[in-house]
């Protein structure tokens, strides 16, 4: 199996480039289908696309000949030379190690954040639904998820939750002295916004509006948190009431522009407004940050806040890395074992053929009147000669050439005890 991972993340690319190469749920099946037909050598594929990363996991015929970078740039209509410096590429065990670190939350913007495990599983599910996966990636992902689960259960990496959602709430608490007095507008109803809502409730926030394109989803979340639900066309009115706006939708274009926020500020008499855009592509136009009384942050701006929560997880992360290293050692031994399968099979077939032929010869000796003792002795001699002829010739030839490595290998292979040479 040739395993290959290509991608970019929050450490290698800015948010404006990440949003250009992001895959949304609607276009993902098409992307997976095109990837397999447009790039020779790609047998299986899966794509993980979140606000912080876009990664392609592939089973390929030849790592050297697969040109995924060019396909990714072409698919998203991004200049290949602009994209290339921001991409990383891992193969074989390094690809497996990277996948394990991603699934375990060790490569996340927030160390140990739990959402990535669900996003990883969603990527696998999407690839299965698109029939883009086979036995090679299925086997790899099974190992990856097994290790990630062990990291979650056997280390403290998931304790003291810190995430982009939590960092948003922490930052809001630095702008407003009492979050319990703030009106909050949550735009979106997905997992990230749900986590934001949970953290806000923990901080005593009670006035919550949920605005979402699908009103039914907004109503479900609003009911769970004691808030009010509105359709997306109610966003302009909602931000007029909001001290805090936190947005995370799957929209491909901004849903909140500078003009709408300017109107809201006038209604609010320029009372400060704290806004966090957690979406990639962005939900809020960057120009909104130029307005007075608006504090606009993106996922990249949360880095400093997030760093404060990493210290408590570093020890657990080191332990998680050891678990991954051990799993990779097991995986490597397994891969090495696969290389011996064909050789062992052919050896057994050859030996079996010789054994069957000599058994028939021994039976014929018995039928001709030879004694059992004589037939058995003949069988033993023939088997010994047939089995050892090839190895004997090869060892003698190697010794004559001065190739002692084959002699040493034979000693190890057959567990031969060395004897002193006699004069």
In a domain, 319, yes or no: no
Instruction: Assess whether 78 and 193 both reside in one domain.
Output: no
What CATH number corresponds to the domain at position 278? 3.40.50.720
Instruction: Assess whether 34 and 143 both reside in one domain.
Output: yes
Instruction: Assess whether 64 and 18 both reside in one domain.
Output: yes
Structure tokens at 46: 């899966």
pLDDT of residue 283: 97
Instruction: Assess whether 136 and 235 both reside in one domain.
Output: no
pLDDT of residue 63: 80
Instruction: Assess whether 171 and 302 both reside in one domain.
Output: yes
Instruction: Assess whether 263 and 381 both reside in one domain.
Output: no
Residue 187 three-state SS: strand
What CATH number corresponds to the domain at position 117? 3.30.460.30
Region for 29 from its dihedrals, namely left if φ exceeds 0, alpha if ψ lies in -120 to 50, beta otherwise: alpha
Asked if 239 and 256 touch (Cβ cutoff 8 Å), the reply is yes
Instruction: Assess whether 84 and 151 both reside in one domain.
Output: yes
The count of domains in the chain is 3
Mean pLDDT by 10 residues, the chain (423 residues): 91 95 92 91 94 94 84 95 96 94 91 88 95 94 95 84 82 91 96 94 94 96 96 96 96 96 96 95 96 93 77 86 94 75 80 88 88 89 87 87 85 72 45
In angstroms, the Cα distances linking 74 to 45, 80, 123, 278, 335 are: 17, 8, 21, 26, 34
Provide the Cα torsion 246, 251, 257, 261; round to 10°.
-30
pLDDT of residue 231: 97
Instruction: Assess whether 287 and 368 both reside in one domain.
Output: no
pLDDT of residue 390: 86
In a domain, 323, yes or no: no
Instruction: Assess whether 391 and 296 both reside in one domain.
Output: no
Asked if 59 and 136 touch (Cβ cutoff 8 Å), the reply is yes
Is the bond into 281 cis (omega within 30 degrees of 0)? yes
Among residues 131, 158, 185, the one where a domain terminates is 158
Among residues 158, 185, 206, the one where a domain terminates is 158
Instruction: Assess whether 7 and 153 both reside in one domain.
Output: yes
Q: Which of 6, 35, 51, 221 is catalytic?
A: 51
CB count within 10 Å of CB 255 equals 20
Name the phi and psi angles at 244, rounded to 5: -130, 130
In a domain, 376, yes or no: yes
- Going by the DSSP 8-state scheme, the letter that residue 44 receives in this structure is E
Q: Which H or E element spans position 379?
A: helix 372-401
CB count within 10 Å of CB 197 equals 25
In a domain, 324, yes or no: no
Asked if 124 and 103 touch (Cβ cutoff 8 Å), the reply is no
Strand 2-9 versus strand 53-60 pairing type = antiparallel
Range 234-239, long-range pairs (CB < 8 A, 24+ positions):
235/185, 235/187, 235/211, 235/260, 236/260, 236/263, 236/264, 238/185, 238/209, 238/211, 239/185, 239/264, 239/273
Among residues 158, 174, 196, the one where a domain terminates is 158
Asked if 43 and 135 touch (Cβ cutoff 8 Å), the reply is no
Q: Which domain holds residue 367?
A: 335-413
240 is catalytic: no
Instruction: Assess whether 8 and 154 both reside in one domain.
Output: yes
Instruction: Assess whether 145 and 183 both reside in one domain.
Output: no
């Amino acid at each position: 199996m040739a395993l290959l991972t290509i991608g970019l993340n929050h450490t290698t690319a800015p948010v404006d480039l990440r949003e250009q190469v992001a895959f949304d749920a609607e276009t993902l099946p098409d992307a997976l289908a095109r990837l397999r037909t447009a790039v020779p050598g790609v047998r299986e594929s899966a794509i993980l696309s979140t606000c912080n990363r876009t990664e392609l996991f592939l089973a390929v015929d030849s790592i050297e000949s697969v040109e995924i970078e060019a396909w990714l740039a072409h698919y998203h209509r991004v200049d290949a030379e602009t994209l290339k410096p921001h991409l990383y590429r891992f193969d074989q065990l390094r690809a497996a190690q990277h996948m394990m670190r991603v699934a375990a939350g060790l490569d996340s913007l927030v160390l140990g954040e739990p959402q990535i495990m669900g996003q990883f599983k969603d990527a696998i599910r999407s690839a299965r639904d698109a029939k883009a996966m086979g036995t090679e990636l299925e086997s790899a992902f099974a190992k990856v998820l097994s290790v990630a689960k062990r990291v979650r259960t056997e280390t403290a990496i998931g304790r003291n939750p810190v995430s982009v959602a939590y960092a948003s709430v922490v930052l809001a608490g630095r702008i407003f002295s009492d979050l319990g007095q703030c009106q909050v507008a949550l735009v979106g109803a997905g997992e990230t916004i749900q986590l934001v809502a949970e953290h806000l409730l923990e901080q005593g926030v009670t006035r919550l509006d949920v605005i979402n394109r699908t009103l039914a989803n907004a109503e479900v979340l609003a009911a769970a948190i004691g808030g009010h639900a509105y359709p997306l066309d109610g966003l302009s009115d909602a931000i007029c009431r909001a001290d805090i706006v936190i947005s995370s939708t799957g929209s491909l274009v901004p849903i909140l522009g500078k003009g709408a926020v300017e109107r809201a500020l006038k209604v609010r008499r320029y009372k400060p407004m704290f806004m966090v855009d957690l979406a990639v592509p962005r939900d809020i136009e960057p120009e909104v940050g130029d307005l007075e009384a608006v504090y606009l942050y993106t996922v990249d701006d949360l880095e400093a806040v997030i760093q404060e929560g990493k210290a408590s997880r570093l020890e657990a992360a080191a332990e998680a890395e050891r678990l991954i290293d051990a799993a990779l050692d097991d995986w490597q031994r397994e891969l090495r074992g696969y290389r011996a399968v064909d050789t062992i099979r052919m050896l057994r077939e050859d030996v079996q053929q010789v054994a069957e032929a000599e058994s028939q010869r021994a039976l014929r000796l018995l039928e001709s009147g030879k004694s059992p003792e004589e037939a058995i002795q003949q069988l033993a001699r023939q088997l010994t000669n047939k089995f050892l002829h090839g190895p004997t010739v090869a060892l003698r030839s190697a010794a004559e050439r001065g190739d002692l490595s084959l002699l040493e290998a034979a000693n190890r292979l057959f567990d031969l005890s060395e004897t002193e040479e006699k004069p």
